[in-house]
Amino acid sequence: MPSPTTSKRVAMLTLGCARNEVDSEELAGRLTAGGWQLVDDEADVVVVNTCGFVESAKKDSVDTLLAASDSGAKVVAVGCMAERYGAELAESLPEANAVLGFDHYGDLADRLDDVLAGKALESHKPVDRRTLLPITPVKRQEKAQEVQVPGHGWGPRVLRTRLDDAPVAPLKIASGCDRRCSFCAIPSFRGAFVSRHPDEIVAEAMWLAEQGVRELFLVSENSTSYAKDLPRELGALEQLLPRLAGIEGVDRVRVSYLQPAETKPSLVKAIATTPGVADYFDMSFQHSSEAVLRRMRRFGSTESFLALVAQIRELAPQAGIRSNFIVGFPGETEADVAELERFLTEARLDAVGIFGYSDEDGTEAEGLGDKHDADTVAERVSRISALVEELTAQRAEDRVGEEVVVLVEHEEDDETDCTGRAAHQAPEVDGECVITNADGLSVGDLVRCRVDAAEGVDLVVTAIEVLPR
């Protein structure tokens, strides 16, 4: 074991989604509590929080692990890819000194001590994490205290260290997923759905506000399921949102990852009309052809999705709506693609991600017939992406002349411009606002602006006034 005077410097590298960012800050909190110093370079150990969602993310994770090894530091893999593949990853990547799963998060500081001391650690052995909690959601909370679920079970004490000073921060409200989408492996390694207690979420939100965070980005695998496993008196997401929006210092609360089939009118109303909550809807449509959705083990259709979009815009005409879609799914016909084109054209979404289907290990879709060749999938991705680029640019053009409230996130080097996001733009994925008269503005300012022009999904805006904190 290292002595008290031994250097214990650790660097955290995070890949993947905002949920991983929260997990990394939890791990940073655990490591600092265990005597480790967080550094950006010249680390003794580099912890890589991997992503294991799709093939490109897995490649990025492996490349990052190899690059970390080249630095001369000891390397530890954690996160989704480590949880999903465990010993298999360790065997194929001897450059990693340890491959640890979620069950190691609670004592990660001790495990890094072992790595630094040269001890060999047994690699994580994956299990289907859906089997660790009861099938019935209402029976999960007590059992969840016995299972290591990243970001859960802290109580009123916040076990988190921020890894940047951005004015926006992700806040985890739940983990896992009970849905059985045929293309998705996430539930097998993230586990069954389990909510965090609302008081625990509020306590962490208050802590984030004290750190200077002005926008809370609520994350989970399925936010529409929040509180289904909690006592009814604790309320649902509709009751949590005003509590978070009412925290001193918090100016905007944003919800991510809503399942259309579970989105109730009461939730739509809460997001669209609660002061301090962004009228922003991150809807997981995935497709709009009813036949394709059924093969995906999902529900909905072009008409039902258009009705949901209309419901949102009736309450909040300027609301931002974004989604992702998979094209080239096994059995998808030209008629199905045309149906998706019809939906996209009529829905006028603000931001859209298009992904070509590829097999994922252990999923139902991996065994489906009627698969398309790579050229067909690529052609459909290109075709739908071109349509989406045109439609989202038109939607952005519609905002010219409107007023938006922008959270400033970056100051440009020439100090004449700065960039940020309006309520309809989520971090990293939905475009940004460029403020052209940025004199006197600082990161963290909330600024009322006029939209002067659109460049694709990005907006060019003029600052009118800085809003008080």
Known binding site for [4Fe-4S] cluster: residues? 17, 51, 80, 177, 181, 184
How many angstroms separate the CA atoms of 410 and 434, rounded?
10
Gap between the Cα atoms of 244 and 238, Å rounded? 11
> Are the CB atoms for 219 and 169 separated by under 8 Å?
no
CA angle 467, 468, 469 (to 5 degrees): 120
User: Taking a C-beta distance cutoff of 8 angstroms, is the pair 282, 257 a contact?
Assistant: yes
Closest CA to 104 of 31, 32, 39, 173: 31
The β-bridge relationship of strands 403-411 and 418-421 is: antiparallel
The rounded distance, in Å, linking the Cα atoms of 138 and 130 is 15
Binding annotation: 17, 51, 80, 177, 181, 184
